[in-house]
Amino acid sequence: MSMGSYLSDLHTHTDFSHGKGSPEDIVRAGIRCGLKRIAITEHAGGHVFYGVRGEKLMRLRKETERLASVYARDIEVLFGLECNLTGFGECDAPKDRGMFDVLLLAYHKGVVPRDGFLLKRSMEAAGMHKSEPELTAKALLAAAEKYRIDIFAHPGEYVKCDIETLARGAKELGTMIEINSRHITLSPDDIRLIAKIGAVMRPDSDAHSPERVGELGPAIAAAAAAGVELPGDGL
């Protein structure tokens, strides 16, 4: 594994949802591979199968705060969520944005559509409707602005997304675009275009087990193959 100039992994899952390993297992794995910052980012409550909500979310928050205290000398532990697009310009981010250190946003299957736009995207993901890439990008951007999203996770996974539109909006909003080591959804042309526009990209593991924490190499290699050097996280 090569992490290059990155010492953070801001996209991980635990056994609170569909991951393997406890939050503490994930944090300790981050320490072992030399990370200085890690975020626990379970699916937000709108995901029918994997969403973490209510009392369970509060338990995860308390556990993340405990781990942040216990391992403060070794690593910074952040509390986050991977939010799900639920409609045009809408997602399932909780109302209390201040609870969270980092919010990711992506389209996922397994979410009940709030409107006709997302119903069409669900049909697109099932191969039953045409893609509308520019509209999808605009929907993500509108939600990111409304809910103060930090990172667009694996754009283009399941449904097509117009990367130029997303990148221009992301630059304006200050929202990062993830190159996901688990799902390399960005083509070399996409990566070069994002870099040319000037939006910030970052690699994350999307780890669903301790063994995958800090696995940034595939994402960094995808950028390198496109001739793009990622900026690093300054840690």
Inform me whether the pLDDT recorded for 203 exceeds 50.
Answer: yes
- What residues does each domain of the chain span? 8-225
- Contact call for residues 86 and 111 (beta carbons, < 8 A): yes
Of 66, 69, 74, 67, the residue nearest 26 (C-alpha): 67
> Can you give the pLDDT at residue 4?
60
> Can you give the pLDDT at residue 94?
95
CATH topology of domain 8-225: TIM Barrel (3.20.20)
> Can you give the pLDDT at residue 5?
84
Average pLDDT, stretch 62-67? Answer: 99
Q: Write out pLDDT tens, residues 157-172.
A: 999 999 999 999 999 9
- Contact call for residues 75 and 35 (beta carbons, < 8 A): yes
Inform me whether the pLDDT recorded for 3 exceeds 80.
Answer: no
pTM over 0.85: yes
